[in-house]
Structure 1
Amino acid sequence: MKVFYVTSECWPFVKTGGLGDVSYALPKALKKEGVDVRVILPKYSTIPTYLKDKLREIAVFNVQLGWRNQYCGLLEMEYEGIKFYFIDNEYYFKRDGEFAYLYGYGDDAERFTFFSEAVLKVMEKIDFYPDVIHINDWHTGMIPLILKDRYSHLEKYSNIKTLYTIHNLQYQGVFGKEVLGDLLNLSYEYYDNKSVEYYGGVSFMKAGIVFADKVTTVSKTYVDEIQTEFYGEGLDGLLRENSHKLEGILNGIDYDLNNPITDPNIFFKYDINSLENKVKNKLELQKILGLEVNPDIPLIGIVSRLVSQKGFDLISYIMPELVREDLQLVVLGTGEHQYQSMFNYYSSRYCKKVSARITFDSGLAQQIYSGSDMFLMPSLFEPCGIGQMMAMRYGTLPIVRETGGLKDTVSPYNKYTGEGNGFSFTNYNAHEMLYCIQKGLELYKDKNIWYNLVKNAMYTDNSWKKSAQKYIEVYQGILN
């Protein structure tokens, strides 16, 4: 089976969030299952130099965008046994300076239309005509429509199927309807018949949902949630209409990269049989954060974007009560000013109990996963979530709200059977969350029960193997 995996970001080249992690780990897992998978993404200027220096140019061609005839370079490299291709155009992808983000520019529609058009042209340049094009999020949502409109009559393209994965429905790529003619060279019929129309604009994500052969999201619960008005972001009706081609497949985490027995970022290596070293990681973490060094004080970790989606309004509401508990809290991340300020305030006032690191530091993140006792993730919505799986991998018990992938991965502690790998609460309510935290704090005092739960968490299989096998089943389903 041949799969062309199309993404706007991929670790270790460039990433802003979970999509970057998935775009690296899933193809790697698919290859282990025998799939001929190749990955393609833009050649951003922010790709690290040590990787950029290994790229080899293999083709140069032009891409037509409306009246524009744009240069396109194609580069390749092999990384960990997988071929990666890079679409090069400095006008679109060289955004230098202190604020060189991947997204959020006024010409994002043009940038990712260029990328999508280039992807389909690349196939003939590398003589790789896949069975399935696997596209991700709004940036690539137009590919199934372009394929149908301009390529499906060509013999080598005629049998290619498309799978569209929605990582976060909130970001939809909605632009003015003029992009159909001005950029995409597509008939306004697609707008008039409502195939891509979205409240007077054109939605790249809607195009992906309508024209892809299969649509997946990153957890089973999220599939059900996005078909409701509350979670559907204005697309719930469309998703209900297309429910026959919706499926939820949980993300995983890379067990090679995230392994407490080999992780170079943590202070002491450990596994399920040497949990005394996990305690040593906690003591070292307390020391470097300036917290009271004490193994008996429960340490709660947060590694997250500090945005309302992640439940920080709940945390903000009960912070005065939370700091009165016998606990410590460490927060790592950046985001909305109100939450950054709130955590900075509590960190300065309760410096022995609260540590706020308003930055992104991947090494410190691993130290928080390994050194914390609990990991707080009370999201309003969470398509899949990576943090709770990372925490369990390192024997840190997650405290989550039952939504999306959090509900699908965290089994709440059952005091009658001893089963469970974390704690959860149902309603988006600050005091329900506080009660859940307090339940964890109380249980922490009983080390026999606690370490049984820690082992349950570490035994939980959140690797990519099962998910990769499920994706292969879906690929086969749309090919048959």
Structure 2
Amino acid sequence: MNIVFAISEVEDLVKTGGLADVGKALPLALKEAGHNVAIIMPYYQAIRVQYDLAEACPPQTLFTAGQVYHFAVRQLSWNDIPVYFVDYPDYFDRDGLYSSAYDAFNDNGERFSFFSGACLTTLQALSLQPDVIHCHDWHTAMLPFLLRNDHTGFFAGTNSVFTIHNAAFQGVHPLQEIPFLRHHPAILPLVHGGYINMLQTGIEFADKITTVSPNYAQELLTNLGSHGLHDRLVTRQRDLVGILNGCDYTQWNPATDSFLPENFDSKNLFAKKRCKQVLQQQSRLPEKEGVPLIGMVCRLTEQKGFGYLLPILDELMDHNIQLVIVGTGDPSVCMDLGEYAHNHPDQFAFINGFSSEYAHLVEAGADFFLMPSQFEPCGLNQMYSLAYGTLPIVRSVGGLKDTVKDPGADADKATGFVFSEPTSEALLSCIRRALLFYYEHPARFRDMQIRGMDTRFTWQDAASRYETLYKTMLKN
């Protein structure tokens, strides 16, 4: 099949979050499976300073009723996959990838609506007729709408897939701030109160809709889980599929991880003790091998469960544990964590920042990894934790529910500890249950570590499921 990814970020090229992991891993896995894969993304300033790329075709012009856009298309061969960049400096030659909600002028709606239209113009200019255009999140959510309303005939054999990575981010903008769409003849039915919801548009117009775990697909059919879009998703339920993201085990493998002081695997966990010792040293905690150490690496936001965690920190400090939290985000959360770390220097370390080396060391050196998320479409850290023999403590939401098994559900398949209720009390009870297991059942604890390390969530499996989905859409 001929498959084109329209996406806003790809790891190795430019990245702000987990979307970029998918933008790298899934195209590579599909290419490995024998398909013709190409990627289209914006030519950001961050890419421009890395690569001085030649134009892939003559300069292009995109006409709308409100404006004329002249742009270039640049090309890079990346892991033998052609990547085409939409080069429109007014929108993409700037610091950062996205305008922030705190910026005085947020033009994300105009920038990425234009990008969606430019993707279709680029494909025509390159004479590249895909069987499938795979769009990702609100940044490319207008593309299925534009594809459905394309009357050139060039895309008669093309279908669209739209993947929702996180329904909390919907791309809601006033239509008047989007000259590219403002005069489109089919746009008015999509406008409500003067605003257009890009994510909702992608849901309505894509041929198939996917998301990043089976359980999150079910949560999207509820008002809470979909952040208000459940009515639209329920009407498209037959076209909605949850496909679990994979894990890049070339980067997250304790047997080869260059960030670790010593490597280990499921057949020999001895070096994990050394990793714990170094983590304690670098976190300025006492070196106590027999004290359970709980790690957490994440953005410091409400979504990650700090509303559940902060109220119980005093009670957690009553236990014989150590806690290391690494991340940046909400200033009020940072202040609270900093205060607790100051008051409990022998038990609690807070690192206000992020580094890949520290993230890997926490995964390897901790005994437990904490993810008490409000919602978690897929989650990757629980997969990393399993690979490193660090038992996840998670809330039963999204991909966390799909990937972590509690001993209460099936002791022979258990890989971590799971709680359901969105309360501090439920989180505290789950942590206490994990601590009791650590102290009273060391042999079973080790069995769970080994079971987790031998568990695999591969991009090859994910690609196979996407391949099956694509084939159901092929037009003769």
Shift of 1:52: 2.2
Aligned to 1:428: 422
Separation in 1, partners of 2:196, 2:308: 35
Aligned to 1:111: 111
Q: 1:361 aligned to 2:360?
A: no
Distance 2:315 2:63 in 1: 59
Paired position in structure 1 for 2:83: 84
Inter-partner Cα distance in structure 2 for 1:231 and 1:362? 30
Alpha carbons of structure 1 residues 199 and 277: separation in structure 2 relative to 1, 3 Å: farther
Large movers: runs of 4+ above 6 Å: none
Counterpart position of 2:155: 157
1:287-326 equivalences under 5 Å are 287-326=281-320
2:465 partner letter: K
Residue 269 of structure 1 corresponds to which residue in structure 2?
263
Shift of 1:57: 2.7
Q: Is this contact kept in 2: 1:191–1:202, CA < 8 A? A: no
Whether contact under 8 Å (2:107, 2:177) holds in the other structure is no
Alignment match, 1:93: 92
Paired with 2:221 and 2:193, the residues of 1 have a C-alpha distance of 18
Aligned to 1:466: 461
Aligned partner of residue 183 in structure 1, secondary structure: helix
Please give the residue correspondences for 1:214-225 in structure 2 after superposition, counting only pairs within 5 Å: 214-225=208-219
Say if 1:252 and 1:198 are closer, same or farther in 2 by CA, change over 3 A.
farther
Matches within 5 A, 1:43-58: 43-47=43-47, 49=49, 51-53=50-52, 55-58=53-56
Deviates more, 1:382-391 or 1:122-131: 122-131
After superposition, the Cα gap between the structure-2 partners of 1:187 and 1:401, relative to the gap in structure 1 and judged at 3 Å, is: same
What is the TM-score normalised by the length of structure 1?
Answer: 0.94
**Equivalent residues of 2:138, 2:171 under 8 A apart:** yes
2:169, 2:193 → 1: CA distance?
A: 15
Aligned positions of 1:52-451 closer than 5 A: 52-53=51-52, 55-59=53-57, 60-96=59-95, 100-104=96-100, 106-150=106-150, 153-178=151-176, 182-184=179-181, 187=184, 189-192=186-189, 196-198=190-192, 200-414=194-408, 417-445=411-439, 446-451=441-446
| Deviation readout 1:378-409 (Å, 9 max, x if unpaired) | 11111111111111111111100001111111
Whole-Å Cα distance in 2 between the matches of residues 366 and 433 of structure 1?
24
Distance of aligned partners of 1:265 and 1:65 in 2 relative to their CA distance in 1, 3 Å threshold: farther
Q: Secondary structure of 1:467's match?
A: helix
Q: Tell me the C-alpha RMSD between the 2 structures.
A: 1.8
Task: Classify the secondary structure of the residue corresponding to 2:223.
Answer: coil
- What's the secondary structure of 2:325's corresponding residue? strand
- Matched to 1:162, the amino acid is S
**Alpha-carbon deviation of 1:371?**
1.2
CA distances 1:248-293 after superposition (whole Å, capped 9, x unpaired): 1111111112211222222211111121111111111111111111
Distance 1:186 1:29, change over 3 A: farther
How far apart, in 1, do the equivalents of 2:186 and 2:458 lie? 44
Deviates more, 1:100-109 or 1:398-407: 100-109
Q: 118-127 or 239-248: which moved more?
A: 118-127
Distance 2:184 2:43 in 1: 30
CA contact (8 A) 2:291 2:322 kept: yes
- Which letter maps to 1:161? N
The 8 Å contact of residues 254 and 264 in structure 2, kept in 1 or not, is answered as yes
Aligned length in residues: 469
Distance 2:255 2:291 in 1: 24
The answer to whether the Cα contact below 8 Å between 1:112 and 1:140 also exists between their aligned partners in 2 is yes
Cα deviation, residue 179, structure 1: 5.6
Question: What is the rounded CA distance, in whole Å, between the counterparts of 1:276 and 1:285 in structure 2?
Answer: 15
Amino acid at match of 2:69: Q
For residues 155 and 301 of structure 2, the distance between their equivalents in structure 1, rounded to whole angstroms, comes to: 42
Q: Aligned partners of 2:431 and 2:382: how far apart in 1?
A: 15
Q: By how many angstroms is 1:56 displaced? A: 3.2
Once the two structures are superposed, residues 4-30 of structure 1 have per-residue CA deviations (whole angstroms, 9 ceiling, x without a partner) of 011111111111111111111111111
Q: Distance in 2 between matches of 1:416 and 1:173?
A: 41
Q: Distance in 2 between matches of 1:119 and 1:279?
A: 50
Give structure 1 stretches of 5+ with no counterpart.
none
> Which letter does structure 2 place at the counterpart of 1:79?
W
1:41 is displaced (CA, Å) by 1.2
Provide the rounded CA distance (Å) in 2 between the counterparts of 1:416 and 1:13. Answer: 42
> Residue 127 of structure 1 aligns to a residue in which SS?
coil
SS at match of 1:56: coil
Report the TM-score, using the length of structure 2 for normalisation: 0.94
1:232-260: CA deviations, max 9, x gaps? 21211111111111111111111112211
- Unaligned runs of at least 5 residues, structure 2: none
Matched, 1:478 2:459: no
Task: Out of 334-343 and 120-129, give the one that drifted further.
Answer: 120-129
Aligned residues: percent identity?
36
Q: Secondary structure at the match of 1:428?
A: coil
Conserved in 2, the CA contact under 8 Å of 1:174 and 1:198? Answer: no
Q: Deviations over 1:175-207 (max 9, x none)?
A: 123367x32265455433xxx234541111111
Q: Displacement of 1:48 after TM fit? A: 8.2
8 Å CA contact 1:285, 1:367 repeated in 2? yes
The question of 1:455 aligning with 2:450 is answered yes
In the superposition, relative to structure 1, how do residues 65 and 304 fare at CA in structure 2: closer, same or farther (>3 Å)? farther
